[in-house]
Every structure is written in C-alpha cells, then in structure tokens.
Amino acid sequence: MRLIAVALPPNLPKKWSKVYAGRTAALAAKATHKLRTEYLEKNASWGRLKSWLSNLSHEKCWYCEGKSRRSPFDVDHFRPKLGVTVDGQPLPGGFGYYWLAYEWWNFRLSCQRCNRPEKIDRTTRRGKWNEFPIESEHTRCAPTSITVDQEAPRFLDPCVQSDCDLLAHGIDGEVKPASPPGTWEHERARYTIEQLGFNDWNVPEDRKRDWQGLSLLVKLAGDAPPADVVTHVSRYLDQDQEYSRFFRSAIGTHRDKQWIEALL
C-alpha cells in the first residue's frame, strides 16, 4: 500500500460537479433504506471518476498496488454506501453511509480481488465489500451528528500516510504488520492484510521470485554498476511499478552499496 495523495482542490472531471449536485439532491429526498438502495443501484455515477482515480495511482489498486490486467477496476466506497458488516455480521437496520455515496473523497480504486467477496476455502473469506469495522461503535458516523473524523476504522486507508507505514514488507514477499502485537496498530494491519488477501493467491511467491532475480543482478553489479543496471533497478522504485513499496524495502537490504543508497 502506497500513499495516494490528492492535490486540493481535486482536478475532477468537468461534468462531475453537475452530476454530484443532482445525485445528492435526489438521494436526500429518498426517505427509506429501500428507496435509497433502488436509487443508488440505478445511478452508479461514481464510475465517471474511474479514470481520474486510476491516474492518481498510476493504474494500480490503491490497496494492494497490483495492476488489474484482465479485469476492470472497481470504484470502492471506503465507507460502504448501502450496508455495513463487521466481521461478516450486518449492522442493524441496513446501516450504510448512503450520504457519502457521491463524495469523491470516499472513493478508492480497487482491484476486484481486494474489493469483492471471495472464499479461498470453506470458512475463509477475502475482500473488503461491505466490511467496515471501527474501534468503537459509539463513534460510528451519522448523517447529522458524528463525523467521519471521530471514527477509528480497522481498515488501513491508502490516503493516510501513517496507515501506509503500518505495513512492512519482507524479502519473502509477504506483507506484515509493522507494529508490535497487542497494539491497535498491529490489529489494523493484520486485519487489512488478511481481509484483502495481500498474502494469498501466490502473490508473495511471485514477488519473491522477481526479487531474487533483481537481487542477483545487484550483487553481480558490485559497487560500480554500469548505467543501464542502475536505470533498470531504479525502475522498481517508480510510483508506477507494481508493488513498488515491496521493492523499495527489498532493495533497501543492499544499502551497503552507495549507488543503492543514492537511489533510495
């Protein structure tokens, strides 16, 4: 997970302000959960921002940094719009953050593996979907009282630098909590890693294999590598590189070489 920084004011598509005004006004007029659900299912206008969201992350999932090569990205609502579950159990009354449905700052670009529910065995489910546990239900946001700033989400947010820093990357390809066990920070990182399946579907093995080849190149290059080797290694640190946070951590194990230190 790498920080997604949005410059303010955001450079949204020109027609979005008109769409936003019309959709939020129409949604506010819906008095019941059923009517709001029907409206939102028919007016999924947030797809208009998909290209904008993709450009912000260099066409990578905001959560796992993977590139969705064979399937389209989803526009995830960080705070789910139609319903919220906590550890698989729905909150009473069909609670969802419907009033945030068209707020651009609630959108996160997600690969389908991170966003959609998927069982990897009979009992283990991955995917964010409608999951959104917080530290205390007493601070759960409401349309007219509690604000989102008062919530403490269990999910790490790619738009918050301190959240991104709670994830560590080992040369074995796995993502791990950076904070010690028993802390809220460790729990948030562990939960995010497991719920989004960062270490599932052979991804760690793929990262490890790619790193082994790159590490061998760094070792063979020695302390005075040719320019093309430096260029090649530096590409793994670019923001558009898939899993660039992992490669930055892995390449950092060769900080004894001055040219590596200069790249980092």
**Residue 65 pLDDT > 90, yes or no?**
yes
- pLDDT at residue 214, rounded to an integer: 97
- pLDDT at residue 5, rounded to an integer: 94
Candidates 91, 118, 121; CA nearest to 195 is: 118
- pLDDT at residue 70, rounded to an integer: 77
pLDDT digits (tens, 9 = 90+) for 195-250: 999 999 999 999 999 999 999 999 999 999 999 999 999 999 999 999 999 999 99
My answer on whether 213 and 189 are in the same domain is no
- Residue 149 to residues 132, 134, 142, 162, 231, Cα–Cα distance (Å): 15, 12, 11, 15, 42
Domain-located, residue 69: yes
- pLDDT at residue 144, rounded to an integer: 77
| Structural domain span for residue 258 | 203-263
My answer on whether 94 and 190 are in the same domain is yes
What is the Cα–Cα distance from 160 to 3, expressed in whole angstroms?
Answer: 6
47 band by pLDDT with thresholds 50, 70 and 90? very high
Place of tokens 């066990």: 181
My answer on whether 105 and 187 are in the same domain is yes
- pLDDT at residue 30, rounded to an integer: 95
Tell me the mean pLDDT in the region 112-123: 89
- Residue 134 to residues 156, 208, 236, Cα–Cα distance (Å): 11, 33, 35
My answer on whether 178 and 218 are in the same domain is no
**Residue 94 pLDDT > 90, yes or no?**
no
Domain-located, residue 6: no
Q: Residue 124 burial (CB < 10 Å; 0-12/13-18/19+)?
A: exposed
pLDDT digits (tens, 9 = 90+) for 146-156: 789 999 999 99
68 band by pLDDT with thresholds 50, 70 and 90? confident
Tell me the mean pLDDT in the region 114-142: 91
What is the Cα–Cα distance from 124 to 127, expressed in whole angstroms?
Answer: 10
Domain-located, residue 1: no
Candidates 79, 194, 209, 64; CA nearest to 134 is: 79
> Please, what is the end-to-end C-alpha distance for the chain in angstroms?
18
My answer on whether 219 and 139 are in the same domain is no
Place of tokens 């959240």: 163
My answer on whether 133 and 102 are in the same domain is yes
β-strands 167-169, 125-126: how paired?
unpaired
